[in-house]
Amino acid sequence: MAELAQRSAELIRAAGLDPAALTWLPGDASARRYGRVRGSGLLLMEDPGDPEGFDAFVQLSAHLRRLGFRAPAVAAADQPARIALIEDFGDDTFTRLLAAGADEHALYALAVDTLARLHAAPEAAEVAVPQMDAARLAADVALFAEWYVPAAGGRADADWTDSVARAWADLLAPVDGAPQTLVLRDYHVDNLMRLADGDCGILDFQLAFRGPPEYDLVSLLQDARRDLSPGLEEAMLRRYRGGAGEPASETRYWALAAQRHARIAAVFVRLARRNDKRGYLRHLPRVMAHLGRSLARPEGAGLSALLAAALGPDWTRVPAVLALAPE
């Protein structure tokens, strides 16, 4: 840590700034951390534990900016140490703006219009990122059986696990026929900012992949951390269809919604159990309600029945031991 602090101070000094002006910002679920270099318009980003993520951030920042989108510019970087000085977009995340009473419809419209513009750009997917197909999505959601089911008191044997894996593969099969775009993966209100000129700033895109456009719509419109006003999801889906090159597929939208919510439920349990980050458990009731809604369509009936077999008929209900997050 001492060496990292020294390298960070050197990077700040090389930019003509004073390391004493650095103030660290509160963290989140990742090990990456940010500090504001007061008076400079820059943030220090340290991510030594994730070399691939750091390199992806630098690459994708440049790519998004070439396409005309507002990703933080990288002003300077120490690539071997995985530290960088990046553009400071300020504090106006959509989450904070909504909490302060900003117009919800206007913010979501800005986010949807930005996403539609990205998906309409033919060059969006022309960047070196992983390919996300149905097989990989199905493999990722295996976390649900590994972490959520036992934590919720469910009963799952090897036969059940195999059946669930086949059901996920069937549900997600239509993904392989989707048009391909750059998927930002965590495109939601915590990672979007309204900039001073009214444009949409995009954060936390280093896990981006090439895949179906519906994925980021799900991330935005079926948020794990907040409830949208009634009718807003449907209104924004209509808005997206009017602005994107290709309309969103309902079949893919709901299949990807189910996959995302099941994976997130498992990740939140893992964060609580393995990393002692219990605050994420308070979101589980919402996430499981989203999952139940996603599987309520006919194509989700088989998977829903399997989850009921392991977790009980009221399988979307989160047990009290998981729903409550002691401070």
* Model confidence pLDDT, tens digit, residues 155-166: 889 999 999 999
What's the first-to-final CA gap in the chain, in angstroms?
28
Compute the Cα dihedral for 158, 164, 168, 170 and give only its sign.
Answer: positive
Q: Which residues pair with 74 in a beta bridge?
A: 86
Q: Under 8 Å CB-to-CB from 292, ≥6 apart: which residues? A: 304, 315, 316
Q: Would you say 235 and 105 are in contact if contact means Cβ atoms under 8 Å apart?
A: yes
Q: Under 8 Å CB-to-CB from 190, ≥6 apart: which residues? A: 28, 93, 94, 95, 204, 225
Q: Under 8 Å CB-to-CB from 310, ≥6 apart: which residues? A: 149, 154, 155, 156, 160
Strands 83-87 and 74-78: antiparallel
pLDDT band at 135 (very low <50, low <70, confident <90, very high): very high
Q: Under 8 Å CB-to-CB from 48, ≥6 apart: which residues? A: 4, 54, 81, 82, 83
Domains (ranges, CATH) in the chain?
2-87 (3.30.200.20), 94-323 (3.90.1200.10)
Give yes or no for residue 40 having a pLDDT over 80. yes
pTM of the model: 0.92
Q: Would you say 187 and 115 are in contact if contact means Cβ atoms under 8 Å apart?
A: yes
How many angstroms separate the CA atoms of 22 and 1, rounded? 16
Give yes or no for residue 123 having a pLDDT over 50. yes
Count CB neighbours of 12 within 10 A.
Answer: 23
* Model confidence pLDDT, tens digit, residues 59-87: 999 999 999 999 999 999 999 999 999 99
Which pLDDT value is given to residue 244? 63
Q: How does 97-124 read in b/e, with b if 16+ C-beta sit within 10 Å?
A: beeeeeebeebbbbbbbbbbbbbebeeb
Backbone phi and psi for residue 318, each to the nearest 5 degrees, phi listed first:
-85, 125
- Residue 181: its H or E element: strand 181-183
* Model confidence pLDDT, tens digit, residues 200-232: 999 999 999 999 999 999 999 999 999 999 999
Give yes or no for residue 271 having a pLDDT over 50. yes
